[in-house]
Structure 1
Amino acid sequence: MKILMVTGGTGGHIYPALALADYIKEHKGYPVTFIGNEDRMEATLIPEKGYAFYGLKTSGLAGSIVKKGKAVFQSLRAINKAKAILKKENPDVIIAFGGYVSLPVCIAAKKLKKKVILHEQNSIAGKANKMASRYADCVIICYENARKDFPNNKVLLLGNPRATLASKHAFNQASFDALGLDSSKPLGLIVMGSLGSSSVAHKLKEILPNIQDVNFLYVAGKNNMDSAQELVADNVKVVDYVDQLAIIDAFDFVICRAGATTAAELAASGTLSILIPSPFVANNHQYYNAKAMVDDGYAFMIEEKDVDEKHLQNYIETYICKPDLAKKMKEAAIAHGFQDACQNIVEVIEKI
C-alpha cells in the first residue's frame, strides 16, 4: 500500500501528519510521500525527516480581490500539478491534514478517483477542510464539536496522531535535572509556543513573583529570550526550549496556549493545564479547543484579556490544594486522550 499525505502551513497541520507517517513507517512499513507548500516550513522540515516531498504554490482566499484572484489562479495550477504528482506516485490513499494546500490535492485526487481521508485537528473546522470535505471519503475529527462542520455520514472521531506519541512518552530524569529546578515546591511549566508570546509574558512578569508557593519554568521561545529575561525571579527560571514530553511528568501543571497539537498531547499524557488560547489565530480556534477541554472536565481556561493574578492563583490553588479534584481531571484528560489514534487511523486507511 502506498500513502500520500498532504499538509502544510503551520505546525498544527504538519506535526500530526509526521506523527502518523512515523507510526506507519515503524509498524506497517508502507511508503509515505508528502505534498505541501513549496515556500513554507514543511518544505524543509519534512525532507529533513527522511520523507519524499513535492511542493505546490498555493495561498489562502483572504485579502483583497486581487489577492483572492491570485489565490484562485494558483489553486488551478496546483490542481494540475497535483494530478501529475498523483499519476506519478499512484498512491492508494491520500490523507489531507488541512491548510489551504490540501484543497487542490483533494480535488485532483477525486478527479483521478483516488480514496481521500481528511483529518481535522481543531474543534472548529478550517475553511480549507470544510471545502475539501466534499471530495473526501472519510473525515477524521478530534473533537465531537467538529462533527457539525462535515457531512455526518463521513465523520469518525479518532483523535490526533500526536496523542499516540504523547501517550508513549518517557520521563527523562537527566533532562529535568539539567534544568536545576527546586522541586521542594510545586512546579509549574509555562509554554507559549515556539515563538513565545510577548503579550502574555508582559502580564506574567507582574504576576508570577507574587505566587511564591510555586516554582515556575518559563519556556520563552528562541526569538523571545532577550525580552523574557524580565520574567526572571526567585521562583521563575527562563529557558528558550525544552523537550516538553521528556520532562512533563515532573510538573504539577502547565500554563500554555491551546493549539491542536498541544491540546492532544496534554490530554493523552494526563497533564493538568491552565489554557490561555491565542486570540490571534484563524477562526479563534484555540478558544474553541480550550472550551471543549474545559467542558469535558480536564482543563481550566483564562482568555488572554482576563489574565490576572486572581484567576491564575485560583486555578493553581485548585490543582495543588484539591488533590481529589486534580486526580479526577487527570483521569478525564486521559479518557479524552485518544491514545490509540494512530492505530485506529491506520485501520481506516487499510479498510477504505
Structure 2
Amino acid sequence: MAKRKKILMTGGHITPAIAVADALKKTNTQIDIVFAGRDTSIEGSNSQSEEARLVNQRGFRFVSIQAGRITRAFTLLTAVGIFRIPFGFIAAFGICLSERPDVIVSFGGYVALPVVIAGWMLAIPSITHEQTLSPGLANRIIGLFAKKICVSFPQTVKDFPSDKTVLTGLPLRESIFHPPKNSPFPLGNKPLIIVTGGSTGAVTLNRLVFPIVENLTTYYSIIHQTGRLDLQNAPDVPNYFATAYLDEPAYAWAIGHADLVVGRSGANTVGEVAVLGKVALFVPLPWSGGNEQYENARYLETVGTSQVLNQKNLTPGKLLGAIEGIFRDKQTYDKKAVEISREFPRDGAVRVADQVMAILSHA
C-alpha cells in the first residue's frame, strides 16, 4: 500500500486555500491536510479567527502559529508583532518537525513566510499561490524559496521567476457554481444588489449604505452582509435583508443572482465577480498591503465591468449616485462582464491541486 502523503497549508487567504484542499481531497484519498494559521481574529483578541472557524467547519486539522508582523502604522500592537517575529520562526520549525509534511502549500501573508522558510531549511518543498494582481512583500520573499509559484492574473507572471511560475487562476469555492435553486431570502423580484465587506463585514461600508437603504429599496432588493458588530444598526425596511454572515449556499445564491455587487475588493471577491460575469462597485480598503485592493479593482474598472470608488471622499449620496449610474448603463456593463468572464478560468482550485500533486509525486 502506498504511503499516505501529508500537506501543510498556511497563509493569509483562507477561502482559496480551502478550495484547493477540497479539490485535493476530492480526487486523492491517500493524503492528509493540516492547516497552520492564526487561531485568534486579530492581535490581542480572544475571539476565534475566521480561518480557524472555516477549517474546523470543513473537518481539517488546524494548528496555531503566532507569527509576528510589521504593520505600516506603528502602535503598541506593532511592537508586539515585531517582538513575535523570531518566535514565529521557532514555532514554524516546531510545526514542520512535528508534522513532517511532504509539501507546504502557501497562500501568502506573514503567517506563511516563516513556515515556508523553515520548510526550505528542512528540505520540505513548497508551492505558493498569489491571489492579487500586485504581489505583497511576503509572497515575493516566499517566491524565492518556493518550488512552484501559481498566480491568478496573467499580468502577475512577470513579478516572479518565469521558470517556476504558472498561471492557474484564482481557486474559487465550488459552491458558487452550484447555487441552491430556491431563494433563502424573503425578497421580491426587483433587481438585486448584494453588499458585502468580505467574510467579516465592513463597518465603513455599512455607514455608507444604511442611510440610503430606503431610497434603494424603492427600485431594488438588497442583501447586505454587515458583519456581527453592525447588524443591530441595520434598517428594518421591506426589500432589504441584513445578516451578519452568509453561509456558502446563501452566498452562492446571492452572488449568482446579483445584478450588482457593492463591496470591498479583496482577491476573492474580485475573482468571483470576474468569473461569474458580474458588475460591481468596489470600495477598496485604503490600507490594504501594497494597495492591493485598489489594484485588484482597478483592473476590472479598466476593462469596463466595474467602477472603483475612493473611500476617502465617499458619502452615502455619492454612493447612491454611483449605483444609479451603473443601472442606467447596465446593458453595457453586463455585456463587458460576460465577455471578460470567459478569460478567467473556473477551475483554478483544480489547477493548483494538480501542481501540488506533481510536487508530491516526487516527494
Report the Cα offset of residue 135 of structure 1. Answer: 0.5
Whole-Å Cα distance in 2 between the matches of residues 161 and 316 of structure 1?
30
1:251 alignment partner, one of 252, 258, 264: 258
Equivalence for 2:244: 240
Equivalence for 2:91: 78
Preserved CA contact (<8 Å) 1:171 1:248: no
Whole-Å Cα distance in 2 between the matches of residues 241 and 114 of structure 1?
37
2:232 alignment partner, one of 226, 230, 241: 226
Report the Cα offset of residue 96 of structure 1. Answer: 0.7
Whole-Å Cα distance in 1 between the matches of residues 149 and 55 of structure 2?
23
Preserved CA contact (<8 Å) 1:19 1:165: no
Q: What TM-score results when the alignment is normalised by the length of structure 1?
A: 0.85
From the superposition, tell whether residues 329 and 38 of structure 1 become closer, same or farther in structure 2 (CA, over 3 Å). Answer: closer
Preserved CA contact (<8 Å) 2:274 2:337: no
Equivalence for 2:209: 204
Preserved CA contact (<8 Å) 1:36 1:43: yes
Secondary structure of residue in 2 paired with 1:84: helix
Whole-Å Cα distance in 1 between the matches of residues 32 and 350 of structure 2?
17
Whole-Å Cα distance in 2 between the matches of residues 317 and 129 of structure 1?
40
Equivalence for 1:130: 140
Q: 1:22 is aligned with what amino acid?
A: D
Are residues 1:25 and 2:59 paired?
Answer: no
| Superposed counterparts of 1:149-298, under 5 Å | 149-162=159-172, 164-166=174-176, 168-175=177-184, 179-183=185-189, 185-211=190-216, 212-229=218-235, 232-233=236-237, 236-242=240-246, 243-298=250-305
Equivalence for 1:349: 356
Say what the alpha-carbon RMSD is for the aligned residues: 2.6
Unaligned runs of 5+ in 2: 42-48
Whole-Å Cα distance in 2 between the matches of residues 105 and 98 of structure 1?
11
2:69 alignment partner, one of 54, 57, 60: 60
Report the Cα offset of residue 174 of structure 1. Answer: 4.3
Report the Cα offset of residue 25 of structure 1. Answer: 0.8
Whole-Å Cα distance in 2 between the matches of residues 28 and 16 of structure 1?
18
Secondary structure of residue in 1 paired with 2:329: helix
Are residues 1:330 and 2:331 paired?
Answer: no
Aligned length: 335
Q: 1:6 is aligned with what amino acid?
A: M
Whole-Å Cα distance in 2 between the matches of residues 299 and 251 of structure 1?
14
Secondary structure of residue in 2 paired with 1:162: coil
Secondary structure of residue in 2 paired with 1:180: coil
Unaligned runs of 5+ in 1: none
Preserved CA contact (<8 Å) 1:117 1:136: yes
From the superposition, tell whether residues 151 and 174 of structure 1 become closer, same or farther in structure 2 (CA, over 3 Å). Answer: same
Q: 1:34 is aligned with what amino acid?
A: F
| Superposed counterparts of 1:297-336, under 5 Å | 297-304=304-311, 305-306=313-314, 308=318, 309-319=320-330, 322=331, 325-332=333-340, 334-336=341-343
Whole-Å Cα distance in 2 between the matches of residues 325 and 72 of structure 1?
46
Q: What TM-score results when the alignment is normalised by the length of structure 2?
A: 0.82
Secondary structure of residue in 2 paired with 1:287: helix
Whole-Å Cα distance in 1 between the matches of residues 183 and 79 of structure 2?
54
Whole-Å Cα distance in 1 between the matches of residues 244 and 35 of structure 2?
30
Richer in helix (by share) = 1
Range with greater deviation from structure 2 (306-315 or 132-141): 306-315
Provide Cα deviations, 1:36-72, integer angstroms capped at 9, x if missing partner. Answer: 2354523454234222233222111334795465133
| Superposed counterparts of 1:32-47, under 5 Å | 32-40=33-41, 41=49, 42-47=51-56
Secondary structure of residue in 2 paired with 1:190: strand
Whole-Å Cα distance in 1 between the matches of residues 302 and 6 of structure 2?
36
Report the Cα offset of residue 17 of structure 1. Answer: 0.8
Report the Cα offset of residue 225 of structure 1. Answer: 1.2
From the superposition, tell whether residues 61 and 221 of structure 1 become closer, same or farther in structure 2 (CA, over 3 Å). Answer: closer
Secondary structure of residue in 2 paired with 1:32: strand
Q: 1:213 is aligned with what amino acid?
A: Y
